Chains A and B, each alone.
Chain A
Amino acid sequence: MPRVLIVACGNPLRCDDGLAWRAVEELHRLCLPQDVEIIAQHQLTPELSSPVSQVERVLFLDAARRGQPGELRCEPVLPLHASGAFTHDFSPASILSLSQELYGKAPQAYVISLSGECFDHGETISATVETTLPRFIELVVRLTEESLRTGYPLSPSVCE
């Protein structure tokens, strides 16, 4: 049973929006321990609440529109009840909320994001994002290792 779940989200046909998928390719090459599961999706869906409920920690990887291109962020995320009528706009917080509601468990979770520059049609990512991507992956690996080393909640400084 995996202890850490990495959820990559984005559209690899929309340039920088697919940066999390690129990161996943690299993470697969790095051969992370067996108790780490990686899922890559175009968007977050309610079905994710099931695997999310079964792990100790979840790392959501995504491209961000806000901030300066190439800006790296790591933010803890808490369950938040969504009020939308439909499920196209599921957020990490709403996935955690559904996990709590349906399976009685919402693990500690982080959103690791990298601000993109170009979200146009295309399979290439911008030079700015390309330059920052190794640091993004490094951070994901560090948080994963940290998560596996300790069963306790990570300290708030883990993102620094």
Chain B
Amino acid sequence: MTEKRTIVIDPVTRVEGHAKITLHLDEQGEVSDARFHVTQFRGFEKLCEGRPFTEMPSLMARICGICPVSHLIASAKACDALLAVRIPPTAEKLRRIFNMAQIVQSHALSVFHLSSPDLLLGMDADPAKSNLWGVAERDPQLARDGIRLRQFGQQIIERLGGKRIHPAWVVPGGVSEPLSLENRDAILATIPEALAIALRTLAWYKQISRAFREEIGSFGNFPSLFMGMVKEDGSITFYDGKIRMGDAAGSMVADGLDATRYFDYLGEKVESWSYLKSAYYKPRGYPEGMYRVGPLARLNVVDRCGTEHADQELAEFKELQRAAVLSSFHYHQARLIEILYCVERLEQLLNDPEILSEHVRAEAKANALEGIGASEAPRGTLFHHYKIDEQGLVRWANLIIATGQNNLAMNRSVLQVAKHFVRGNELLPGMLNRVEAVIRTYDPCLSCSTHAIGEMALRIQLVGPAGRVVSEATRP
């Protein structure tokens, strides 16, 4: 007699944080449903209540060790709104540099350290070798490039913020210190190498991605909305702009949305099986309002990047599919294009005559009781929303994180991949690796989105209808 079974992948490997995947099989051993569960809980929105709002940027940066800068930026912008000040132009440019350095190092982590084993060694590679050592053995230059690009971003953050992780340089009203000539020149000297790495990695990626036709066709390849921030002229921005929502046909369903009115058009739903909330576009309801954010979404909604090489790559990217680029596999390419753009744009900003100005902070006390800050983090649009009392103490906070906004799409992607590759009667490592790999395309940051680091082994269980473990396998 056949029976319904469940496959549990717990924890999911090579992602930032704790999660598990459950695949439900029907009587024929075919996948009938799939769930991506985020099992860690952090609760930053609650623990910041009662703290002085001036502490918020530093406190919020502790949400994540990978993208603390993103939280610093969004939090500081919310605090600027509480001060009701316009920060000095140089401070804004320095924050842009800081944010882009963070995007480079975070994207490099995703592409080189987390996903390159799949891309270089293949989805069916021996799990014991599917790691940085496997990459180093097969293509040491690629591994060195990943390390160098991460260093490039981290060193900029360190030169500006004083340290690589959890820097406190971004403050309400601007930044705490101007950029020195020495640091400016030192960063500029590293640009040519970073640019060369970005260009050759894109060339490599476009070559090897041809071998993944089946994955491209089944990794989150479905219609959805795409959301991102754009400048007035429709070009890419990571710091400030209006929100655009595009659809699968490549049309814009909403444009010029005010990021500080996010609650008018974005909703969040809590599901019992995950600590990660699911965001949706309110006018379409839940779950039809599913949308994606991050590199793929940003490149789908922008008209141009505004730098020479990135614009060439963007034009090529937009030709990948007929209308909007739907397959989540293409997040990888979008990520590399954004690295390229950031490197080019960093050079422009560092050569700006105003960049060494010493006027980098606007001083004020709280002048408003509510403030919202939004920016583009590596994984997508990030919102910080605070309410304070007359004493300047935080009374309420709400954070909308990129990974939560991708939650519906990640779940649907897992189901699509599982239905395509998993056959319950014969579980092979390559099948399950693909289920994890589609999650990696989104580069979810679960520490951020649940507002723990732990064991990163993979455990797969087959559980019968009575809850009995039918079969179990572990991966190093």
Taking beta carbons and an 8 Å cutoff, which residues of A are in contact with B? 41-42, 46-47, 49-50, 81-89, 97-98, 101-103
| Known interface pairs A85-B14, A102-B136; 17 further A-B residue pairs with C-beta atoms within 8 A, sorted by A's residue number | A46-B146, A46-B147, A46-B150, A47-B154, A49-B147, A50-B151, A85-B13, A85-B456, A85-B457, A85-B458, A88-B453, A88-B456, A89-B456, A98-B132, A98-B136, A102-B143, A102-B144
Residues of A within 8 A of B212 (CB): none
Residues of A within 8 A of B148 (CB): 50
Contact A85 B113 (CB under 8 A): no
Q: Is the C-beta of B426 less than 8 angstroms from some C-beta in chain A?
A: no
Partner of A101, one of B114, B136, B458, B476: B136
Residues of B within 8 A of A102 (CB): 136, 140, 143-144, 147
Given contacts A85-B13, A85-B475, A102-B144, contact A46 B132 (CB under 8 A): yes
How many Å lie between the Cα of A87 and that of B14 in the bound state? 8
How many Å lie between the Cα of A87 and that of B108 in the bound state? 14
Partner of B14, one of A47, A83, A86, A103: A86
Of A85, A89, A97, A101, chain B has the most CB atoms within 10 Å of the CB of A85
Residues of A within 8 A of B136 (CB): 98, 101-102
Residues of B within 8 A of A88 (CB): 453, 456
How many Å lie between the Cα of A72 and that of B282 in the bound state? 60
How many Å lie between the Cα of A145 and that of B208 in the bound state? 49
Residues of B within 8 A of A42 (CB): 65, 165
Which residue on chain A has the smallest CB distance to residue B62?
A13
How many Å lie between the Cα of A82 and that of B132 in the bound state? 9
Residues of A within 8 A of B151 (CB): 47, 50
Residues of A within 8 A of B140 (CB): 101-102
Given contacts A42-B165, A46-B147, A47-B154, contact A82 B133 (CB under 8 A): yes
Residues of A within 8 A of B147 (CB): 46-47, 49-50, 102
A-B contact pairs, 5 of them (CB 8 A): A46-B150, A83-B133, A88-B456, A98-B136, A101-B136
Given contacts A101-B140, A102-B144, A102-B147, contact A85 B127 (CB under 8 A): yes
Contact B127 A81 (CB under 8 A): no
Q: Is the C-beta of B319 less than 8 angstroms from some C-beta in chain A?
A: no
How far does the Cβ of B129 sit from chain A's closest Cβ, in whole Å? 8
How far does the Cβ of A135 sit from chain B's closest Cβ, in whole Å? 28
Q: 5 nearest interchain CB pairs? A: A86-B456, A101-B136, A85-B13, A83-B476, A47-B147
Contact B133 A101 (CB under 8 A): yes
How far does the Cβ of B412 sit from chain A's closest Cβ, in whole Å? 25
Please report which residues of chain B, range 149-181, place their CB below 8 angstroms from some CB of chain A when the two chains form the complex.
Answer: 150-151, 154, 164-165
Residues of A within 8 A of B458 (CB): 85
Contact A84 B143 (CB under 8 A): no
Residues of A within 8 A of B130 (CB): 85
How many Å lie between the Cα of A86 and that of B154 in the bound state? 20
How many Å lie between the Cα of A85 and that of B456 in the bound state? 7
Q: Is the C-beta of B137 less than 8 angstroms from some C-beta in chain A?
A: yes
How far does the Cβ of B225 sit from chain A's closest Cβ, in whole Å? 32
Given contacts A42-B65, A50-B147, A101-B137, contact A84 B456 (CB under 8 A): yes
